[in-house]
Amino acid sequence: MMCEGSRDVAASSIVNGFIAITGVAIGPCKRVESANEYQEWSLMFKEANSTLVDREWRIAEVCQRLEHDFEVLGVTAIENRLQDGVPETIEKIRKAGINFWMLTGDKQNTAIQIALSCNFISPEPNGQLLLIDGKAQNEVCRSLGRVLLTMRITSSEPKDVAFVVDGWALEIALKHYRKAFTELAILSRTAICCRVTPSQKAQLVELLKSCDYRTLAIGDGGNDVRMIQQADIGVGISGREGLQTARASDYSIGRISGTSLFNSVSLMASNVFCTSVPVLVSVLDKDLSEVTVMQHPQILFYCQTGRLLNPSTFSGWFGRSLFHAIVVFVITIHAYAYEKSEMEELSVVALSRCIWLQAFVVALETNSFTILQLLAIWGNFVAFYVINWIFSTFPASGTFTIMSTTILLDNYASGMGPVIALKYFRYTYRPSKINTLQQAE
C-alpha cells in the first residue's frame, strides 16, 4: 500500500522531517491483516460504494479504517514547487481584502506546509493557526466552540488568524453545527480544509455564497469540477491532471512559462526614454499655423466630425503596427538564420529595429519641428546606439561586440518604404482638407 505521509502514518521522525522540508512524503507501508478482518472491510467498502447517499464520504470513512498502525518500510520526498511569484501574488491579494480558502484532498501536515510556503498563512508569531478536529460529535462541538471564541476575540487584532479543519470534522460541523460554522466562515479571512471530498468542496462554496460573498474557485483536477461549477466564477487549470476542470469552468488557463526577449534594463529604458519622451513632446506639434486656421475657420468642422480619429484611422494604425512587428521579426530572425546566437544578441537586434522604426514614424508624422522635438526624437535615437556601443565594448557586459554586428545588418528602410509610399500616394491623389492647406503653406 502506498500512503501519503501524515500524522496517521508518521511513526517515524524521518517521515515528519521530509514533510516539513518538502511538503509531501510517500512510501511503502505494511500492516498485517487477517483474512476475517479484510473480508469484513471488503464488505463495508462494497456497501459504501453502492450507496446513493453520501457515497464519497462513506467511502472515505471506510478507507480511513485501514490507514492506521502502519509499519513504514521506506520513504521518499516529493518537492511541491511553486511557480515564480506565487507567494508574492497571494500576499498582495490578501492585503487587498480578498479572503482565501484552501480546499484540498491532501492531509493536514501537507496542506499546512503548502500554505506556509505560498504565504497563504503567516507563521508564528505574526500568525496563529487554530485546529478543528474530532471524530465524535461532542469533540467537534468543543473544538469548534473554542476556535469560534478565539476568532471573536482576535477579530479586531492585526494578528493573522486562520483555522484548519479536516473532512471528518467538517462533515459533522456542516450537518450538526452549521450556524456556528457559518459564523466562523464570516469571521475568518483564511481557512484550510484538508481531506475534503468533491461534494464537501461544493458545499463550502455554497455556504460562502449564502453569506453574501462573491466566490471564485480555482482547480486543476476532476475532483474540483463540482466546486468550480458551484462558484460564481470558476477557473480551471489545464495541466497534468487532465482537462475536466478546464471544460467545466468559466475560464480556462494553463501553466505559462517562458522568458522575456528583452532584459529589464533595456525594456525600461526603451519605455521611459525612447517611447514616451517623443510622444509627450509631440503635443507641441501643429497641423496648421494659427494664421491658416484663422483664415479658414471652417477647418474646425473637419475635426469636430471625427475625421481625424475614427475606426478607419484606428484600423490603419493597427495595420501599420502589425506590419512593423512582422518586419522586426523577419529581420531579427534572418540576421542570425545561419549563425549561432545568444538571447542577448537577438534582443539587441530586435530592440534596435524598434527604436529605429518608432523614431522615423514619429518624424514622418510630425508636421512642425521644434528644437525640443528634434532632440527628443533623434537625441534618443543616437543615445541608444552610443550607450549600447559603449557597453558592448566590455566583455563582461553580456552584449560584447553585438552593436558592431547590429549596425552592419540588413537595410533599416525595409520597414519604412511601404509606409512612405502610402503616405505619398495619399498626399498626392487623396489629400484631406488639412493636407491641402498644409501644401498651400
Place 297 in a pLDDT band, splitting at 50, 70 and 90: confident
CA distances from 177 to 61, 138, 141, 143, 163 (A): 20, 11, 8, 12, 16
List the single range of 28-32, 229-233, 274-278, 338-342 with lowest mean pLDDT. 338-342
Joined grid coordinates for residue 240: 497534468
The domain boundary residue, chosen from 62, 77, 92: 77
* Within a domain: 235: yes
For 147-200, write each residue's pLDDT tens digit: 999 998 887 676 788 999 998 899 999 999 999 999 999 998 899 999 898 889
Instruction: Indicate whether 409 pLDDT > 60.
Output: no
Do 328 and 426 belong together in one domain?
yes
Predicted structure pTM score: 0.51
> According to the model, what pLDDT value does residue 11 have?
45
In sequence order, which residues have a C-beta less than 8 Å from that of residue 99 and are 6 or more positions away? 188, 189, 190, 213
Do 99 and 244 belong together in one domain?
yes
The domain boundary residue, chosen from 77, 105, 128: 77
Do 103 and 71 belong together in one domain?
no
Place 80 in a pLDDT band, splitting at 50, 70 and 90: low
Do 126 and 219 belong together in one domain?
yes
Place 7 in a pLDDT band, splitting at 50, 70 and 90: very low
Q: What is the span of the domain harbouring residue 147? A: 82-254
The domain boundary residue, chosen from 254, 285, 318: 254
* Within a domain: 259: no
Do 41 and 190 belong together in one domain?
no
Rounded to an integer, the average pLDDT of 271-277 is 76
Contact 163, 184 (CB under 8 A): yes
Write b or e for each residue in 120-141: b if 16 or more Cβ atoms lie within 10 A of its Cβ, otherwise e: bbbeeeeebbbbbebeeeeebb
Other Cβ atoms less than 10 A from the Cβ of 208: the count is 22
Place 282 in a pLDDT band, splitting at 50, 70 and 90: confident
Question: Which residues are registered as beta bridge partners of 130?
Answer: 163
Do 114 and 63 belong together in one domain?
no
Do 29 and 116 belong together in one domain?
no
Question: What's the order of all strands across the beta sheet hosting 251-254?
Answer: 216-219, 233-238, 251-254
- Measured distance CA(282)–CA(294) in Å, rounded: 22
Place 9 in a pLDDT band, splitting at 50, 70 and 90: very low
- Measured distance CA(368)–CA(88) in Å, rounded: 48
Number of domains observed in the structure of the chain = 3
List the single range of 35-44, 65-74, 128-137 with lowest mean pLDDT. 65-74
> According to the model, what pLDDT value does residue 410 have?
47
Grid cell 475536466 is found at 244
Q: Kindly report the average pLDDT of the chain as a whole number.
A: 79
For 387-406, write each residue's pLDDT tens digit: 777 777 766 555 555 665 55
Do 246 and 182 belong together in one domain?
yes
In sequence order, which residues have a C-beta less than 8 Å from that of residue 224 and are 6 or more positions away? 198, 201, 217, 236, 245
Q: What is the DSSP string of 270-293?
A: IIIIIIHHHHHHGGG--SS-HHHH
Do 116 and 205 belong together in one domain?
yes
> According to the model, what pLDDT value does residue 157 have?
72
Instruction: Indicate whether 3 pLDDT > 60.
Output: no
Q: What is the DSSP string of 165-229?
A: EEHHHHHHHHHH-HHHHHHHHHH-SEEEEES--HHHHHHHHHHHHHTT---EEEE-SGGGHHHHH
| CATH code of the domain containing 236 | 3.40.50.1000
Do 305 and 381 belong together in one domain?
yes
* Within a domain: 234: yes
Place 215 in a pLDDT band, splitting at 50, 70 and 90: very high
Q: What is the DSSP string of 84-115?
A: TTHHHHHHHHHHTT--EEEE-SS-HHHHHHHH
Do 102 and 158 belong together in one domain?
yes
Rounded to an integer, the average pLDDT of 227-252 is 82
* Within a domain: 10: yes
Grid cell 500616394 is found at 425
* Within a domain: 73: yes
* Within a domain: 353: yes
Do 90 and 69 belong together in one domain?
no
